[in-house]
Structure 1
C-alpha cells in the first residue's frame, strides 16, 4: 500500500472506533461531527477494502480484519505520540492521551481509585485503560516496546535485565503473606514451611500449568504444595480463604 495515500487522521478515527465501539462517541472523542466520522469510516473501508466495523448492540463491532490491525494501529500511533511528546513538555492538564497500564487485579484494586482521583484532579482529559498482565512475574517488554502498554506495575524479578529503553522504578514494597480463615488450626502455632506445603490451599497462578515462582522455591527444598485451587485473580483466592 502507498503510504502517501494514507491520511493519519483516518488512523486516529480507527483507533477511536476500536476503543469506543460507537460512532457518536468516537466522533465526540475526536471533536468531529457524526457525519465527519462516518465519512472517515467510509474512506477507511474504501482504502482497505473491508467493512472494518459492523453494526452491533450499542454501536459497532470490529471485523476480523480490524481486530488483526488493532495492535499495529495502536502501537504506530503511540510511537508517533511519544515522538511528539519528546519535542514538547507533557502537560497533563491539556492532554487527551489514553494511558494503558498492565497490572494484576490486586494492584488494580489497590491503585485504581487513587489514580482515578489524581487524573480527575490534574489531567481531566486523560483516559486510563487497565489490562491484566499476561504473566504475573514477567515484565511485558514486548508490549511496552510496541506501545500496547505504557506502564507495567508488578513484581518482576528479572526486570534488571530489561532493555535500556525501559525505565524501572520502585513504587511500593510488599511482603508475601499467608491468608487463612479465622480459627484455622495452623493459626494457633508458628507456621513452618512444611506446614505450608502440606496444607490444602489456593494460589494465584497465571500460567496454564499450576506451577509458579513459589513452587520453584519449594521444589529447591524438596517440597511440593498441596494446591487445590489455582486462579489468576487475587480477589478470588482471597475470597476462598
Structure 2
C-alpha cells in the first residue's frame, strides 16, 4: 500500500460502510451519491489490494482484512477530527459573522422571528442577511459561498449539497369566509370552477417538464398528472399580498399549511382540505460541501434544527 495515496475522504467512506453495510445508506450518511460511493470503494480496493466488502443478501459484509484495520481507521479519524475541531473552536457569543440565508418570503414569515430571537440571545453580535434569488440560482449561490444556508422545499438542490429534513408539510386551500359558492366544504368541482391566485416564486418555471423548484410547481405538476383543472387568473411572486387579495375577492389560493401556523390577523378567511389527494413534501435545510466542516456553519445548522425540526 502506498501511504502517500491515502485520502481522508476514502477513510470516511470506509468508516461509513463499516457502520451501514450498505452502499446507499453509507452514501446518505456522507452526502454522496451511489456512483460516487462506488467510485470511492473502487479506489479503496485498488489502494489496499483487498475487496474490503462483499455483497451478500443482507447488504455488504466486510472482509477479514477490513475487520482487522477498522479499529485503527476509526481511532485515526477520531484523533484527526478532534484535533481539527479543537483548533477551530467556535464561540457563538464572540462571533460577529453575517450569515446569508436563502429563503422565500413565506420562509421569512415562518422562520425569521424565531431565528433572530434565538440569535440575539446566544450570539448577539451575529447578523443575518436574507437572500431571495430565483430557485435555479440557489445551487450556484451555495457553491460560490454567496449563501451559507438555504431553507425550504428545494428538490433541485443535489450536486455537492448536504441536506437535513426539518419537517413534512402539505397543501391547504384558503378562501374568504363569505365566499358566495364555497361555504361549509370544498368539492373538487368547486375547486375546478373557482378562480385562483397562485404564488409563483421569482424565476421559477411551470411547464410540464420543469424541475419541481417549489411547492407551487409540485402542486401544478400533480394537478396536471391527475387531470384536475383550475383557472389561474392571478400569479404573484410573494405570499404577503395573497391573504388581502383573497379577503377582498372571490379568488381562492392553495398554499403550504404550515404558513397558517405563523400567520396572524387573517379575519374573514377560512381554510379547507383539498378535495383530492396531494403529495406531502419535506422542508429541509441545505448547505454546500465547502461549508460542511465550518464550525460557524455547523453551529447555525444545529440551531436551525433545534428550532424547526418536527417529527
TM range (shorter): 0.5 to 0.7
RMSD: 2.6
Q: How does 1:44-193 map to 2 (within 5 A)?
A: 87-135=87-135, 140-159=138-157, 162-163=158-159, 165-193=160-188
**Structure 2 CA distance for aligned equivalents of residues 121 and 130 of structure 1:** 19
Change (3 A) 1:194 1:93: same
Change (3 A) 1:86 1:144: farther
The 8 Å contact of residues 134 and 204 in structure 2, kept in 1 or not, is answered as no
Partner of 2:88: helix, strand, or coil?
coil
Mark the runs of 5 or more structure 1 residues left unpaired by the alignment.
1-83
Q: CA deviation at 1:134?
A: 1.4
**Structure 2 CA distance for aligned equivalents of residues 223 and 85 of structure 1:** 53
**Structure 2 CA distance for aligned equivalents of residues 208 and 124 of structure 1:** 34
Partner of 1:168: helix, strand, or coil?
strand
The 8 Å contact of residues 210 and 230 in structure 1, kept in 2 or not, is answered as no
**Structure 1 CA distance for aligned equivalents of residues 117 and 140 of structure 2:** 29
Change (3 A) 1:218 1:86: farther
Partner of 2:150: helix, strand, or coil?
strand
Partner of 1:129: helix, strand, or coil?
strand
Q: Identify the structure with the greater strand proportion.
A: 2
Aligned equivalent of 1:237, options 236, 239, 242:
242
Question: Deviations 1:176-221 (Å, cap 9, x if unpaired)?
Answer: 1111101214532432334323311111112568833322222212
The 8 Å contact of residues 139 and 158 in structure 1, kept in 2 or not, is answered as no
Change (3 A) 1:157 1:189: farther
- Asked which structure has the greater RCO (Cα within 8 Å, sep 6+), the reply is 2
**Structure 1 CA distance for aligned equivalents of residues 203 and 111 of structure 2:** 27
**Structure 1 CA distance for aligned equivalents of residues 85 and 241 of structure 2:** 40
Change (3 A) 1:213 1:175: closer
For residue 195 of structure 1, what is the aligned residue in structure 2? 190
Q: CA deviation at 1:133?
A: 4.0
Structure 1 moving runs of 4+ over 6 Å: none
Change (3 A) 1:206 1:168: same
**Matched pairs, number:** 153
Answer with 1 or 2: which has the greater Rg: 2
Q: CA deviation at 1:139?
A: 8.2
Partner of 2:177: helix, strand, or coil?
coil
